[in-house]
Structure 1
């Protein structure tokens, strides 16, 4: 709290100087931040998961560039632990928090607690609030911003890839992420839209969770192929699951194509080898850096944000343009 009070007092003094001497407050506060006067708590959903680990890497790189001290806590994929971590961070009174939610619904309570504590917060890489009742772009009240991929758009892009594989339609199966993750719902919501707009039926004959892991996805795809040998396409909601699914397809002697999401090293290697038909390119390090920058702008007064949706382009990647997606995780 003392740090924020000191920063507020300094900002007020700088504003008075700016009025008298024509100096810009933003430049002065940037200089103050470069001296390491800001501390930001980072609550990551799990450093053992490649994607949030890459997001955190981008956060730390930008923090170092800006001279911001980072206090990192790792939820290890457990919503209950993340709730405890947030309480610990509140007790340390950082100037701001970057929250990578484990469970979007549970994260709403954390965001409320941070707001009550007067700690500006940016949600990163995943929505806060129930994804089935709240639109992705409807950022949870009280947050400075939500910095993430447009998961709806990514799902639609994956659907466009599916239409390339099956222009006349056919049987498909879906490998879903873990229940409770907003992305599990969001990456499928608009997946069928491109086909429906062209009057093409992509018939979903099976859906099973792969929990974001290659091994679990491989098992899920084995089961779905055994029950539905006529499946022509698997839509895996992450590249890691897509790679696992591709192994099951090969082992079964199936000709089914596999589409992933994420632009990971595994995914891009899979596209290059032909194991995956395509993927959607995500850039987690860039996302982490952008989130830190947005929070820094808020804390220094360089730019004000209020429940802002911050995103970036996620293009489709196939063998034809695989060089355009440089893996960041």
Structure 2
């Protein structure tokens, strides 16, 4: 009799832990399932910022690969780069009651409302590749409350590594220009915040004479760099906040007959090829497929109770790349 009571107590405790770490559907149903059963029946909603962009498309590829390995069903919606559409997409996802959601925010500020909505619906959420909240007032590793985790590259570190490349490329300092991403993206602020820190530590002075958006794409970055060079022909360095923009900017530099160095971020095939050819001085190697897989793993661990996450920052190493070590960065996008 005592053994039966002990067994019943253990079983009840296990069910309680599983329920607490589990999905909104199970909570709404008022029941609990063991980890094995939940793993077989998990459905995860994925709200991606835009599958037409190579980087989030590679993240999506990683998510789907890991979901297939884990036996998780994916329901994916594409915001097409529009914050308003993503808000609507997330509302629709919440109505479908998935076990969890992976969110790749279009706009870091607007995303706070989405996370609040999902939290109120009892749906565990992991933000992927981009911060939720205002990057000017919230530190990257100060993860927005209500998220299980933020799984992303360390944008501060990436900016510093790009800054270290700048010091090598233009060691005497001088006027520089910045090609920013699209407005609303946290990365615009995050990738610039510590960019100048290596120069300052080395006693080198860079004068940021102009900053213009390239909206993450080569053609707009090329036009932006043409405009910046026309106004500031003495620019010594362009810091492009993505490889795609860096390659576009390099075309403008070449067309203008400028000797300005160009540095990107991302480690894309386009970017690494440009490093090999000398169009880009260097880049910082991101791994979006690995990032997508890791995000799926984190949410799966949360949903099955294998590990508990509460506003946790999860990242990986992003090395700087030049022609000397370009082979160390195998492009994933």
Please report the TM-score for the alignment, with normalisation by the length of structure 2.
0.91
Native 8 Å contact 2:102 2:126 kept in 1: yes
Give the number of equivalent residue pairs.
310
Note closer, same or farther for the CA distance 1:9–1:3 as it changes in structure 2 (3 Å cut).
closer
2:37 equivalent to 1:32: yes
Per-residue CA distance 1:95-154 (angstroms, 9 max, x = gap): 000000000000000000000000000000000011111000000001000000110110
State the SS of the aligned residue for 1:71. Answer: strand
Q: Take 2:291 and 2:283, find their aligned partners in 1: how far apart are those partners?
A: 18
Residue of structure 1 in register with 2:262 after alignment: 258
Native 8 Å contact 2:126 2:147 kept in 1: yes
Q: Please provide the CA RMSD for this pair.
A: 1.2
Q: Take 1:281 and 1:261, find their aligned partners in 2: how far apart are those partners?
A: 7
State the SS of the aligned residue for 2:295. Answer: helix
How far did residue 32 of structure 1 move?
Answer: 3.1
Note closer, same or farther for the CA distance 1:243–1:116 as it changes in structure 2 (3 Å cut).
same
Native 8 Å contact 1:174 1:204 kept in 2: yes
State the SS of the aligned residue for 1:206. Answer: strand
Residue in structure 1 matching 2:213, options 209, 219, 229: 209
Residue of structure 2 in register with 1:149 after alignment: 153
How far did residue 253 of structure 1 move?
Answer: 0.8
How far did residue 170 of structure 1 move?
Answer: 1.4
Per-residue CA distance 1:255-302 (angstroms, 9 max, x = gap): 111000000010000000000000000000000000000000000000
Residue in structure 2 matching 1:54, options 53, 58, 69: 58
Residue of structure 2 in register with 1:10 after alignment: 33
Native 8 Å contact 1:33 1:68 kept in 2: no
Native 8 Å contact 1:42 1:97 kept in 2: yes
Please report the TM-score for the alignment, with normalisation by the length of structure 1.
0.92
2:105 equivalent to 1:101: yes
Residue of structure 2 in register with 1:85 after alignment: 89
Native 8 Å contact 1:41 1:97 kept in 2: yes
Q: Which runs of 5+ in 1 are unaligned?
A: 12-28
Residue of structure 2 in register with 1:239 after alignment: 243
Residue of structure 2 in register with 1:70 after alignment: 74
Q: Which runs of 5+ in 2 are unaligned?
A: 1-23
